[in-house]
């Protein structure tokens, strides 16, 4: 993505088909001032902050985000996908029918989204049913919903919360629920596509910062992993910690090592960030974060940009 302009209120294009686009609601993107975050590692800086709102009542509750073909795609709990390209909302559409079938506040939750390891397909995790939906962007009618090895015993509301694929290698999925009193979370490394039942899996563990839980994850091209960890407490301001981890060495029951990259708390930038995407660029990468307003609309949806040097 090149940049976001200060204010955009653009009606989304008319639907190509009733199944592809459910609504033509306008999406407003407003530039905010960017105060300093509480703690940033050397080489990390705040590069922008925006508020997103829409007349489409299904916009909000954003739980996942990914970068594809220089565009950001946001996924909402209600099963809607919104594409932003060069700051412009270019498309809104529903999840494929196979993905959306179990969706609903009482049945399933779309919580994470990533490209397949081959870079061609899209994968979405449904937390409450602990399944993965797979499809090709050009052929949504071929979407399939699959149970995933290692996730069947995860708690329905503490399931697959973070998912990230490393091009040509595999896919990582982290569960939200703690496995023990130490707060360790289950981490599955699929040596390929998690939607393929024949893909070998290595079971590992992830230790989030104390008091935090994993929200999303993404790989840098060199294999390093960034995990978005969040803390939400009733009546208190949400907080986020980004951790960075060395290139993965799959070992059964190993705990993923890492260090704090950024802490966003007790500041004007703090929000319930639940989606993350990485955009490689010359000399480093851009980290995009998006918040989940739980469809309450009080604070709106925030999009935050952090730039990281190599």
Model confidence over 72-124: pLDDT tens digits? 999 988 788 888 887 677 788 888 888 876 555 444 578 899 999 999 999 99
d(CA 19, CA 106): 23
Cα(188)–Cα(176) distance, integer angstroms? 12
Q: Listing from the earlier edge strand, what are the strands of the sheet with 88-94? A: 62-68, 71-76, 80-85, 88-94
Q: Is the pLDDT of residue 5 over 70?
A: no
**Alpha-carbon gap, residue 74 to 290, rounded angstroms:** 8
pLDDT, tens only, 277-305: 999 999 999 999 999 887 776 667 899 99
What is the β-pairing status of strands 213-219 and 170-175? unpaired
Q: Is 227 helix (H, G, I), strand (E, B) or coil?
A: strand
Strands of 191-299 (E only): list them.
201-206, 213-219, 225-231, 239-245, 259-264, 273-281, 284-291
Least confident among 28-37, 76-85, 161-170: 28-37
Domains of the chain: 7-309 (2.115.10)
Ramachandran angles phi, psi of 99, nearest 5°: -75, -40
Long-range contacts of 226-229 (CB under 8 A, 24+ apart): 226/261, 226/276, 226/278, 226/287, 227/162, 227/174, 227/258, 228/162, 228/273, 228/274, 228/275, 228/276, 228/289
3-state secondary structure of 97: helix
252-285: pLDDT as tens digits: 999 999 999 999 988 888 999 999 999 999 999 9
Q: If you count them, how many residues does the chain have?
A: 310
* CA angle (222, 246, 197) in 5-degree steps: 80
Q: Is this prediction's pTM over 0.85?
A: yes
Half-sphere exposure of 129 (CA within 13 A, CB side): 21
pLDDT of residue 19: 39
């Amino acid at each position: 993505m090149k940049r976001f302009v200060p204010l955009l209120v653009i009606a989304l294009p008319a639907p190509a088909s009733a199944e592809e686009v459910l609504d033509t609601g306008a999406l407003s993107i407003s530039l905010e001032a960017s105060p300093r975050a509480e703690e940033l590692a050397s080489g990390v800086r705040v590069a922008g902050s925006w508020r997103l709102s829409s007349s489409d009542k299904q916009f909000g509750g954003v739980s996942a985000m990914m970068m594809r073909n220089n565009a950001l795609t946001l996924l909402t709990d209600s099963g809607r996908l919104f594409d932003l390209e060069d700051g412009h909302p270019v498309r809104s559409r529903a999840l494929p029918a196979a993905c959306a079938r179990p969706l609903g506040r009482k049945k399933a939750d779309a919580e994470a989204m990533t490209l397949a390891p081959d870079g061609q397909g899209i994968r979405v995790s449904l937390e409450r049913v602990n399944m993965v939906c797979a499809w090709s962007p050009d052929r949504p009618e071929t979407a399939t919903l699959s149970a995933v090895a290692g996730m069947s015993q995860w708690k329905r509301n503490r399931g697959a919360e973070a998912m990230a694929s490393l091009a040509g290698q595999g896919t990582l999925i982290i569960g939200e629920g703690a496995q023990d009193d130490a707060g360790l979370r289950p981490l599955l490394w699929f040596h390929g596509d998690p939607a393929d039942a024949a893909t070998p899996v290595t079971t590992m563990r992830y230790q989030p910062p104390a008091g935090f839980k994993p929200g999303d994850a993404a790989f840098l091209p060199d294999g390093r992993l960034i995990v978005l960890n969040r803390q939400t407490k009733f009546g208190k301001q949400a907080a986020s910690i980004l951790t960075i981890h060395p290139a993965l060495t799959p070992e059964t029951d190993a705990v993923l090592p890492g260090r704090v990259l950024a802490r966003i708390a007790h500041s004007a930038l703090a929000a319930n960030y639940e989606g993350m995407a990485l955009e490689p660029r010359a000399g480093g990468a851009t980290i995009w974060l998006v918040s989940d307003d739980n469809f309450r609309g009080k604070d709106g949806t925030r999009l935050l940009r952090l730039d990281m040097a190599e």
